[in-house]
Amino acid sequence: MPVLEPIIELGRGLFTTLRSMFEKPVTVQYPEERKPVKPRFRGRHVLKRYENGLEKCIGCALCAAACPADAIFVESSENSDEKRFSPGERYASTYEINMLRCIYCGFCEDACPTEAIVLGDQYELSFTDRKQAIYPKDMLLEAVAASQLLTPQKTEPGKFTRSVPEMKDPQD
Amino acid sequence: MAKMVSLTIDGRPVSVSEGTLIVNAAKTIGIDVPVFCYHPKMEPVGMCRQCLVEVGRPAIDRATGQPVIENGQPKINFGPKLETACTTPVSEGMVVLSQSDKARASQKEILEFLLTSHPLDCPVCDKGGECPLQNLTMEHASPQSRFLFDEKHHAEKRVPLGDKIWLDRERCIQCARCIRFQEQVAGEPVLAFYQRGRSTDIITSSEPPFDSIFSGNTTDICPVGALTTADFRFGARPWEMKAAASICSLCPVGCNVTFNTRREAKSRARTGTTTAGGKVVIKRAMPRQNEQVNEIWICDRGRFEWHYVEREDRLEKPLVKKNGKLEKVSWKVAIEEIGNKVKGNKEEVVVLASGRLSNEDLFNLKQLADGLGGEALLYDSLPGGELTTKYGVSAGTNIGDMGAGTTILVAASDLYHEAPIWHLRVKQAAERGATLIIVNSEATRLDKYAKHLVRCEKGEAAKKVRELGAAVKDAKNLVIFFGADGSSALAEACAELVKSRAGKPNNGLVGVWPRANDQGALELGFKPAQDLQAVFEKASVVYIVGADPIGDGAIKTQNVKRKPFIIVQELFLTETAKLADVLLPAQAFTERDGSYTSGERRVQRFYPAVPALGETKADYAITALIAAELGIEVEGRSAGLVMDKLAAAVPAFADITYGKLAETTEQWPIIGRADLYYGGTSYQNSQGLGVPLGRENKKAEEGSL
Amino acid sequence: MTKFEPVLTRNTRYPDSEKIATYLAHGGYETARSAVKMQPDAIIEMVKRSGLRGRGGAGFPAGVKWGFMPTDAPQKIVAVNTDEGEPGTFKDREIVERDPHSVIEGVIIAAYAVGANRAYVYIRGEFFLGVKRWIKAIADAYEQGCLGKNIFGSGFDLDMSVHRGAGAYICGEETAMIESLEGKRGSPRLKPPYPAQIGLFGLPTLVHNIETLACIPHIVGRGPEWFAGIGTAESKGPKIFSVSGHVNQPGNYELPLGISLREIIYEYAGGMRGGRALKAVIPGGASTPMLTASQVDVPMAFETLKAAGSELGTGAIVVMDETTCMVEAACRLSKFFAHESCGRCTPCRVGSVRLYEILERIRRGKGQKDDIEFILEIARGIDGNTFCPMGAALVNPARSAIQHFRDEFEYHIANQRCPVSGKPN
């Protein structure tokens, strides 16, 4: 039955097409519609804050040291109780990430001793100029919640003396 | 020659001179015994107990006094206790095990003890990355802490010991290196322990606090981040910085330093308010080992006072005076302006150079002056200073070798303030047994080490030195440091004493100059300027390089009857520069290469640390440009080529090349390698120890080296 | 029991025994008077033959120490250690308060024998009466010509003065005491050089505990053979034992070395208080390992106590009855050592505090499973690794308590309370 064979094959093909018309579409109508990212998605970085609004980042530059793409640049300065950015003595006075250089490997997260830098869920990064790709600290810092204070804060002397949070269980 | 002793360390045989400590014997064959309190420049104390090793000695038969032989091998008796490698001297046939289970277990225990009192705030610690405790922890310690967090030792973290040095009490491991440095090396015991046991703290006992010009060195030898400098505090992480070899330009000692640099966005050290904006800037100055010059120390001036090169008011473009105002022009215009003015007045050109210029700069200036038939004058010198070119110390001189048999005379100079590292080294020589004689009108900090102290009226030092003549005649070696005391009589009197000793190592004059390279200028034939006012009025063109005679008051403008055409080559808009007809922006010594001749007549090379500022040029290159405009051939392409010309032209510098200046040999103590805990964070010298002048006798000596 | 005729404390039975008149009335300074006319070597030889061992704790043969003093040095010093800081010990205090002249006489003989013309007394600052008695005794001795220039007309000069300590246990260690005497921080020096070579102010120095020095006049006066006849084979002479703790009559008892611990506790010290059972004894002061009730027959001598796993130390006997919690005892002693660490070397500075902290948490019922092993491990890290002998001293209480009463520690950890009192501490 050499004549029938192409017709059967054709029918099968058309059936596949027909069947898919009743299936749920896998495509998403971006940007009107957005898919939630997976929990371990590595998007644009966020610098976290403690509950009281103090920055977690202490300007240690270990993220910059760990960065394989040399995308991070940090300069640090000294905190005081009058003008406190982060707990302890040191804070990042400059914190920049070049998003064009970043390869989103997440090494910076691993290197961070205070869990200050986290790769977030934002992935919509577009720039019209190379300079725009360098995100300074105020763009990276997490927004302040209603209960939090902006940095720098005036703090009680002797209260925030430790840079690295006390991790009672190092497995944490 | 000391008796040699043979022993084995970790199975490797080594032969060292008698009295050597185990830790140093191990170091010579590349075995690093971990230490914290031990430092090769200080007396051993055995406090930290980190260097515990197993030590076995050959059993001696009491009856015969001979070693007991067992199975053809000498029988080795190991003691029940471990011994500290830093306090135990080697002995014949000794067997040292630094890696045995017992030794390693103890080393680990000690580290664990230290860590339980240590905050582990490495992320914010300035020492993190070049920290002996950190390195040893990575190497030896257990990855897990067994101590309860609640029992962690807490102490004050921000204690200014002085205005330059800050103490973190929590990080301190009580090794007493800083205390001992101040006591033994600097001779200024201003630090001490306070309280006892776990509460032991470092305190300063002086008023003002931590009163020592050598205080910065304690941060280098501190094996943890307990002592940090206020200047560098949180400035950068050590691994982010690049190292550039240089020579300190602040005094005639010529300390070898290393500038650590980093690209910066905002902060610019702590001096300026503007941002660096992506420029490479110097973050700190560190000592670089040169056992014949500064060992592994530098003074606080050298460590902290380089900031001027980064001042915001540095000149960046050539300026030419038009209608009484200095206006920015291009190099071409500025040089042409000079050419036009000078061409007609060639003989009346006077070059006034500062001793802060490099040998190359000065040589080119001299070439220019000679080519024009003008005069080359050195702005700042000592009266009679030119005698040092004849009777200065000869090659092979090393204050570090001086001891009994050497007489050191310090005349009319306060070494502590004028050349601090000479103070430190002369003090140590005196402690080793050298006879120190001081002739001065005022008390100095060196006085207490002097065997003979001669007080005199100002201006009478020469007389007193002459009176000393007989007393020092018989000294095996005689070195004389002299300063300014009014007239050249002092220099002449000093020269008289060393005349017969010319050419002998560890003999001769050392001028305690006001500037780093006055010696070099005199060696190159510059004449010290005598009556500047007269010179100024007589000349038609004055080319002032690096000097500020008007700001210093050496020339009173209101008295100037006839103002010559003034060319000023400077870093800043000084008082003199304001009067200039043409103002040329020069590069700082950190931005270029060159060489200085130290007061001990050692030619040493410095390298560029940071990129040049704006349109500035190196002094030797500017001079070459002017010379070319005037039709005189002067080398200006690179400092190395200038040195080649210089070496060919000036006999004292014969054979010196940039290659030779960059040569190094192994120095003791061995520092700066993987084991930072041994010598501290001073830099190993890999870029040149320099070449001494006065090598007339060098040839013969080389054979014996 | 034959009554032992007291030697060192023979004068204390007289009223005003500390006064020079009393001392002279009972034959005082007679031995020194004759000794300064003897050959110095002969005196050293006598001390060697007597078998006298130091009473300060280490038990080093005194004659050997004297022999170490260089003969050619122009200036030498005798330093007298009255810095009695060992918990449980109060014998030196009794000697200095009630018979200081016997020590001065010993010093004169010792100084003469080794050729020293200067003696320094270092006394614990808290001994107010002791300091006063020392000063008075020295002043009186000068007045009587026993000290100063040309003593007893022999041409021998000796000057002596008193210096008070500022309250540091470690200054009982000879080199730390020397540092303190020089006006420096009281912490031990590196040995070698030993004090006999380079001691106080850089001069050869003979350092002795005052009880040792108090023995000297008797050795020289009555002969070394008489002295060697008292005691055991390796421990000669009389010794003052300070008995404290749960006994009916605590106090100082001068007895011959070699007497059994049982005899001291039950016959001299009046037996156990309230008739309770003996639980543990520290035989030589806080720094020596504890012994249990079963070891109470051990003779009190250097060699026998060593064999029993402890030391004679200063001969301070601390008696503990069955109501004593051994964890608490170890903890309290460790606290003392942590407080007294001079801070010079790492194992002692840090280890002592760690040891105390762990014992403290066991005592409070917060001990952890591995804490006993942990204590032993820390003890291993400290013992033998420290700069001075205090390292061994500070681990002894905890280590011996665990050795003998491990079950009590385990009970504390397992049940969070004390097996003795039944209560959480």
User: SS3 of A49, please?
Assistant: strand
At B472 the pLDDT is 87
Chain B partners within 8 Å of A93 (Cβ): 266-267
Chain B partners within 8 Å of C351 (Cβ): 113
**Cβ contact B196–C342 (<8 Å):** yes
What chain A residue is nearest to B122 in terms of C-alpha separation?
A60
Does any CB of chain C come closer than 8 Å to the CB of residue B49? yes
pLDDT over 90 for what percent of chain B?
74
Strand B582-585, strand B319-322: pairing:
antiparallel
The residue written with tokens 């053979």 in the block is: C225
Task: Tell me the two tokens of residue A147.
Answer: 């209960």
At C421 the pLDDT is 85
Task: With a cut of 80, say whether residue B146 has pLDDT above it.
Answer: no
Does any CB of chain A come closer than 8 Å to the CB of residue B123? yes
Does any CB of chain B come closer than 8 Å to the CB of residue C40? no
Q: Do the beta carbons of residue C141 and residue C75 sit within 8 Å? A: no
- Are 3 or more Cβ–Cβ pairs between C and B shorter than 8 Å? yes
Task: With a cut of 80, say whether residue B700 has pLDDT above it.
Answer: no
Q: Do the beta carbons of residue B303 and residue B282 sit within 8 Å? A: no
**Cβ contact C384–B82 (<8 Å):** yes
Task: Tell me the two tokens of residue C289.
Answer: 């390992």
pLDDT tens for residues B379-419?
Answer: 988 888 999 999 999 889 999 999 999 999 999 999 999 99
Report the pLDDT averaged over residues B340-355: 87
pLDDT tens for residues A112-143?
Answer: 999 999 999 999 988 999 989 999 999 999 98
At B698 the pLDDT is 45
At A110 the pLDDT is 94
Task: With a cut of 80, say whether residue B268 has pLDDT above it.
Answer: no
ipTM, 2 dp: 0.92
Render the burial of C367-384: b for 16+ CB within 10 Å, e for the rest.
beeebbebbbebbebbbb
Task: With a cut of 80, say whether residue B266 has pLDDT above it.
Answer: no
At B367 the pLDDT is 95
Report the pLDDT averaged over residues B519-523: 95
Task: Tell me the two tokens of residue B107.
Answer: 């080393």
Chains that touch A (3 or more CB pairs under 8 A): B
C423 vs A53, more confident: A53
pLDDT tens for residues B70-108?
Answer: 888 888 999 899 999 999 999 999 999 999 999 999 999
Chain B partners within 8 Å of A96 (Cβ): 265
The residue written with tokens 């560098």 in the block is: B232
Range with lowest mean pLDDT among A146-160, B576-590, C371-385: A146-160
Amino acid identity of residue B272, one-letter, is: G
What chain B residue is nearest to C367 in terms of C-alpha separation?
B148
At A167 the pLDDT is 64
- Please state, in angstroms and rounded to a whole number, the distance separating the CA atoms of residues B61 and B69: 9
Q: Which segment, A119-133, A154-168, B423-437, B665-679, is predicted with the most confidence on average?
A: B423-437
**Cβ contact B46–C345 (<8 Å):** yes
Does any CB of chain B come closer than 8 Å to the CB of residue A79? no
| The listed CATH number (3.40.190.10, 3.10.20.740, 1.10.1740.10, 3.10.110.10) that belongs to domain B4-115 | 3.10.20.740
Instruction: Note which residues in 104-133 of chain A have CB less than 8 A from chain B.
Output: 113-114
Report the pLDDT averaged over residues B679-700: 79
**Cβ contact B197–C353 (<8 Å):** yes
**How far does Cα B198 stand from its chain's mean position?**
37
Tell me how crowded residue A116 is: count the other CB atoms within 10 A of its CB: 27
User: SS3 of B251, please?
Assistant: coil
Q: For the domain A45-149, what is the CATH code? A: 3.30.70.3270
Chain B partners within 8 Å of C385 (Cβ): 49, 52, 81-82, 106, 109-110
| CATH class of the domain defined by B319-381+521-656 | alpha beta
Q: Half-sphere exposure of B635 toward its Cβ, with a 13 Å CA cutoff?
A: 16
At B699 the pLDDT is 44
Tell me how crowded residue B527 is: count the other CB atoms within 10 A of its CB: 13
At A171 the pLDDT is 55
On the 0-12 / 13-18 / 19+ scale of CB atoms within 10 A, B606 is buried
Tell me how crowded residue C21 is: count the other CB atoms within 10 A of its CB: 12
- Are 3 or more Cβ–Cβ pairs between A and C shorter than 8 Å? no
Partner residue opposite C341 with nearest CB, options B81, B148, B197: B197
Instruction: Identify any residues that bridge with B227 across adjacent strands, giving them in sequence order.
Output: B167
Q: Which of C385, C386, C390 to mutate to test the interface with B (most CBs of B within 10 A)?
A: C385
| CATH class of the domain defined by B386-512 | alpha beta
CA–CA distances in Å: residue C363 to residues B552, C349, C412: 75, 22, 7
- Please state, in angstroms and rounded to a whole number, the distance separating the CA atoms of residues B135 and B665: 27
C330 vs B65, more confident: C330
Tell me how crowded residue B108 is: count the other CB atoms within 10 A of its CB: 15
Q: At what angle do helices C210-222 and C91-98 cross, to 10 degrees?
A: 60
Q: Any idea how long chain B is?
A: 705
What chain C residue is nearest to B193 in terms of C-alpha separation?
C185
Instruction: Note which residues in 155-214 of chain C have CB less than 8 A from chain B.
Output: 168, 185, 187, 190
At B269 the pLDDT is 44
**How far does Cα C82 stand from its chain's mean position?**
9
What chain B residue is nearest to C343 in terms of C-alpha separation?
B197
Task: With a cut of 80, say whether residue B468 has pLDDT above it.
Answer: yes
Task: With a cut of 70, say whether residue A172 has pLDDT above it.
Answer: no
Residue ranges of chain C with pLDDT lower than 70? 1-2, 425
Q: Where are the alpha helices (DSSP H) in chain A?
A: 4-20, 62-66, 107-111, 137-140
pTM of the model: 0.93
Average pLDDT, chain B: 91
What are the structural domain ranges in chain B?
4-115, 319-381+521-656, 386-512
Does any CB of chain C come closer than 8 Å to the CB of residue B111? no
Question: What's the distance, Cα to Cα, between the start and end of chain A in Å?
Answer: 70
What are the structural domain ranges in chain A?
45-149
Task: With a cut of 80, say whether residue B1 has pLDDT above it.
Answer: no
Partner residue opposite A94 with nearest CB, options B120, B123, B265: B265
Tell me how crowded residue B79 is: count the other CB atoms within 10 A of its CB: 11
What chain A residue is nearest to B143 in terms of C-alpha separation?
A170
Does any CB of chain B come closer than 8 Å to the CB of residue C341? yes
At A113 the pLDDT is 92
Q: How confident is the model at residue B270 (pLDDT cuts 50, 70, 90)?
A: very low
Interchain CB contacts (distance < 8 Å): A and B? 56
Task: With a cut of 80, say whether residue B14 has pLDDT above it.
Answer: yes
Chain A partners within 8 Å of B124 (Cβ): 58-60, 88-90, 163-164
B155 vs chain C: nearest CA distance in angstroms?
Answer: 14
